[in-house]
Copies of this chain bind each other. A is one copy, B any other.
């Protein structure tokens, strides 16, 4: 099976011009099939402010009302995605930008309102990478924005880590997939700031119980372990190998 690297690049890496340029240089240098999944939350927040669209967050997660859906569709699907595509084309990479709506790549259900109504936020129902694989066979490199659709005509805001994991799992049917969460930190850090180089299910439980790992890192590691259970060959969070 051919190897494929799927890189999810967090907001700070994409939105700082120097960090983004370095990321794209190293991404362009990867040989063989590859996919880039990006965020863009800081830009969305900045444009929302300029447009007078209130930013509402609950426990670090964005509430996406219809005005915010317009903002993220513009910023993730347009500004961030197309500038990454143009920047990769300039580096000789035949990049092609997608959301989950394009080619029916990712079908989502709008998350039902519970204690919190997250608005136009999607949970993944189905991923179809058949035409994506066809393009990759011809050397095309997908650049995927954290957006999808509900199959009924509405776009939806989707967590970029989740999109990365779902697409990685679907591609694992035809490739040996390495899923790599790249962000502004070195990886999963211990209490003393040192890098934890490897984590497995057992050590994750210990890190969680001791409180060494907390906050947004918990779902990231959980996603990683889930992806490994669903055919992905290896997962990195920064430089930390999850296995």
Contacts and interface: CB of A to CB of B under 8 A. Distances in A.
A73 B90 CA distance: 17
Given A90-B151, A103-B94, A131-B138, A77 B82 contact: yes
A78 interface: yes
SS class, residues of chain A in contact with chain B? helix
A90 B153 contact: yes
Interface magnitude class on chain A: 35 or more
Interface in A47-86: 47, 50-52, 70, 73-79, 81-83, 85-86
A177 to B, nearest CB: 22
Contacts of A95: 101-102
Given A51-B51, A96-B102, A138-B131, A74 B79 contact: yes
A75 B71 CA distance: 10
A79 B85 contact: no
A108 to B, nearest CB: 11
Contacts of A83: 73, 155
B134 A82 contact: no
A5 to B, nearest CB: 20
A87 to B, nearest CB: 5
Contacts of A85: 99, 101-102, 149
The CB with the most chain B CB atoms within 10 A, among A50, A83, A135, is that of A83
A228 interface: no
Nearest to A149: B86
Interface string A135-159: 1001010000001011111110000
A125 B138 CA distance: 23
A183 B78 CA distance: 24
A93 to B, nearest CB: 10
CB-based closest 3 A-B pairs: A78-B78, A74-B74, A90-B153
